[in-house]
Structure formats: C-alpha cells, structure tokens
Amino acid sequence: MRLAVWLAIATSLFSGTAVVDELQADLQARRMRLASSLDVGTMFVAWSSPRQVYSADVDHPYRQDSNMLYLTGISQPETILVLMPGNQKSREILFVTQPNATREHWTGHMLTKEEAAAGSGIATVFFTSQFDAFVTAIFNREPFGQPRYKETTDFDPFFDAVSRGTAKLSLLFGVRPGPHEPLTPPYEFARLARDRFVGVTIADATSTVASLRQVKTEFEQRVLERSLEISSEAQITGMREAAPGKFEYQVQAAIERVYRAYGATWSYPSIVGSGPNATTLHYQASTRQMDQGELLLVDAAADFQGMSGDITRTYPVSGTFTAVQKDIYTLVLAAQDAAFAAAEAGNLTSTIEHASEDVIKAGLLKLGLITDASSDQFRTWYTHGICHWIGLDVHDVGDYKRPLQPGMAFTIEPGLYIRPAALDQLPDTPENQTFKAKVAPAVERYKNIGVRIEDSVLLTSAGPKRLSSKVPRTVEEIERLMRTRTAQTQ
C-alpha cells in the first residue's frame, strides 16, 4: 500500500493527524532499541520481502517482511535498511527503489526519497541501486555518496573497526535453509561478504529483533486492538449470515467484506468448516452446504496495518446447541476459562497450556472419551497447543520460555475434535485395543463434532485483556445472537 494511503487511513481511524507523528516516533524508538544492542563497529542490514508469483505472470498481493515493517513502516518492495550505531550522524540509512514513470504506469506510485524519509523518520535515503556501491565503499573505508560526506568523520568508528578487524555484519537470517534450498538475501549477502571483506564477523540479529517485537509498544497495542475490533465485527457478521442451506463460502464472504470495509485484509486464509469439516484444523475449501443441526467452526481474523489477531468461534447453524454439542462446547469453554485465569505476568505460556489440559482431561474422562486422565490419551482429541504470539504475524515471533509481561499478546484457543479416524491412527497394541473398545460408545455419540474457542489476549498491567470479547462466546450469548438473527430474517 502506498505510504500516503496508509497514513490517511490511520489518521481517519485513530482520530487526528498526531497519529502520523506518533507512528514515526514509535518507529524511531524501535530502531534505537535495536541499535543500542549492537556494538559500535556493527553494520546491521535488513531486506524487504521479495515478490511472490501466484501463477505465470501474476503475483500474489505484496506483503512486506514483518521485521522491515517493524523497523521502518515501509511496505514497498526492494527496500533495504542499514543501521550503523557508531556513526556520528547517519546512524540510520534507507534504500528505496528509484521511481520510474513507465513502471509506475503499470504498478502504481513508488516512494520518492522525501516520502520514504517522511514516513519512516529516516533522514538519510538512497536508491536501492546504490546499495552495493555503498557497502563496497564503507568496507574499503571510503566515504560514500555526495561530496558532503567526504569532509565528515561520520563513518570513522566503523572504519576504525574495519581496520582493527573487529567490524561486524549483523543480519536477520531467520529460518536456516536446507543444504539444497536457495539462499535468502541475508544468507547470500553473508556468503559474498565472507569472500570479500576479510576479518569481518557475521552475526545473527534474528533473536534480538524477535525479543523486541515480543513486547508491543503502546502504539502497536492500539493498532492491534483496532485490528481485533474489526475482526470481532466480522465474526459477528458471519454468525448472522450462517443458516441451514447456505454454503460455507457465503459466511466467509460476509466476514471478509467487513475487513475490506475498514481498509483491512485477512491475516490468514479463513477457516469456515461445517459439520465434519470442523474437525479439520486448517480446512480452507469453504464449499460445503450447511445442514440443520450442525456446528460451524469459523477461524478468521483481519490484518489491519500489519497487525494481526486470531479469533475462532464455533456455533450451531440452526441457532441452538444440541445436548451432545453442548457437552463438548462447555468443556472447551471451561478449559479456556481456566487458561484465562493462568494468564498472569510472570507465568509461562506452558502454565496456561497446563491449566487448560487439566480441565480437558477431567472432562473427557467424565464424557467417556478417555479412560485414563493421567496419560496422554486426551491428545487423541485435543491435538494442538493453545497459545501462540500475535502481532505483525498471526503466529508472531517470540520466546515461549520467556515469562509473560505486560505488552505481550497471544492467543488462548483450546479445541476438541472427535474424529473416529483418530482411533485408527493409534498403534495396534493391546492397550490401545482396550482403550478403543471402551471409548467406542462415546466416540459414536460425539463423532464429527469439532469445537475450538479462540480469543486474542493482550497482557496489561491490570491483567489479561481479551481483545475479542465483543464476539459471543458462552452458549447463552451465542444462542441469543442466533435467535436475533433468525427474528431479523423472518
């Protein structure tokens, strides 16, 4: 998205032009926190995401690298960020693609240097085509660029580090590619640097930036809350759309229409699964026609200005839970309530996970779906973890061994999926044969019921804040909304 459009939308949604200055100040503060973790003789480099081909000569809609968004706010491809904390003046340098009238005719406006500087708060901006020359000059201890640099000592601390053999290149390597996988720009750059810049140490800044992103700034928290407000309205709209005889894609369309109405898009492909499809974790076809008496599981949330939450609701298409559906639903709800109670500063996400598991085990034993609450039998039906970080990515970066603290944002999403086929996947042992025989009546009773309840949580100084609280969650709240929907269509 063009930066000017981003700023216009942000201003309209957050009331007042001061948001533009607040964004720039927040971006600058993020870069300063990163720079403070780097040695004086370090050059940090980050690249934008490449374009991704959808088919033939058609690209996917462009999505900027999350680390680049976090540090610059620039959503344009072919962008490079350089941080040199030891410089006297030019500690932040941005490289953007040179505008080209012919190219803009086909693909739209490209940022000028002035626009890139205004949006990111980075004063020193060059064109991406100059990056190689810039790096070559700096590692040869030569001033780069316009004549004004030749009479300054701006880069001297880094030049000194190069001379001493203590200079560092700090890059965001991310996931390590396999031996035969193509190298990403950081890996390719590191390979070339090792061949050309003798005595330079290569360092990985991935965990450092991830640690910074794990605790959201006040500005990020506001954007995330707005993202969840849009997502919540979309989920409620989907609930009102669902009805026997309609197709899953009609619910999906209603949800995603709300995103677009607020200048957002989906943060992940929507999951809209009815009946047995609710037991498939990442079902995405959305082609099935919904029947009377079935549950519909909807896992969908918006990406608003790069910030993503995550919401799942499961509800009866006909408007009222059956007795067996209510058995499973109330158990998942109780597990989520227990998890909320454990979401305290100082705890780990594993504490939240265990609180939910204890409730699930006891409940499944009572329903006859397991025979031993002290074993891992519950994993037959309870198949995934319930916490992941959210933020610039719906599965955001972060250390799960780090104690919770205010500013962290995560999901709580217990789920039960009663798939008879899950029993067939168990190893054929005497113990499992006994287990399958004993739980068979309960599996027949609850088969093809899938229930997941997911909320996005922001930990504040006052405790956990459920950002998706506007979406009906309890049996009573859901049935009340569904009754209102039914009355409006009559």
pLDDT for residue 153: 85
Sequence-distant (6+) residues with CB within 8 A of 425 are none
Q: Do 360 and 335 form a contact (C-beta atoms < 8 A)?
A: yes
Sequence-distant (6+) residues with CB within 8 A of 163 are 141
Q: Is residue 127 within a helix (H) or strand (E), and if so which, with residue range? A: strand 124-127
Q: Do 189 and 171 form a contact (C-beta atoms < 8 A)?
A: yes
- Please name the fold of domain 216-489: Creatine Amidinohydrolase (3.90.230)
Q: Which CATH superfamily groups domain 3-212? A: Creatinase/prolidase N-terminal domain (3.40.350.10)
pLDDT for residue 3: 47
Domains of the chain, by residue range, sit at 3-212, 216-489
pLDDT for residue 381: 98
Strand order of the β-sheet with 168-171 is: 124-127, 92-96, 80-83, 42-47, 168-171, 201-204
Give 48-90 as a DSSP string. Answer: PPPP-EEETTEEPPP---HHHHHHH----SS-EEEE-TT-SS-
Question: Which class for 478: exposed (0-12), middle (13-18), buried (19 or more C-beta within 10 A)?
Answer: buried
pLDDT for residue 489: 55
Verdict on whether the full-model pTM lies above 0.85: yes
Q: Per-residue pLDDT tens, the chain, 490 aa: give them.
A: 344 444 444 444 444 456 778 999 999 999 999 999 999 999 999 999 999 999 998 999 999 999 999 999 999 999 999 999 999 899 999 999 999 999 999 999 999 999 999 999 999 999 999 999 999 999 998 877 655 445 668 899 999 999 999 999 999 999 999 999 999 999 999 999 999 998 899 999 999 999 999 999 999 999 999 999 999 999 999 999 999 999 999 999 999 999 999 999 999 999 999 999 999 999 999 999 999 999 999 999 999 999 999 999 999 999 999 999 999 999 999 999 999 999 999 999 999 999 999 999 999 999 999 999 999 999 999 999 999 999 999 999 999 999 999 999 999 999 999 999 999 999 999 999 999 999 999 999 999 999 999 999 999 999 999 999 999 999 999 999 998 875 565 5
Q: Between helices 3-14 and 113-120, what is the axis angle to 10°?
A: 30
C-alpha–C-alpha distance, residues 201 and 135, integer Å: 15
The answer to whether the Cα torsion of 248, 252, 254, 255 is positive or negative is positive
User: What does each C-alpha distance from 412 to 46, 312, 339, 458, 477 come to in angstroms?
Assistant: 32, 10, 7, 11, 19
3-state SS string for 142-204? CCCCCHHHHHCCCCHHHHHHHHHCCCEEEECCCCCCCCCCCCCHHHHHHHHHHHHCCCCEEEE
User: Token pair for residue 124?
Assistant: 């020193």
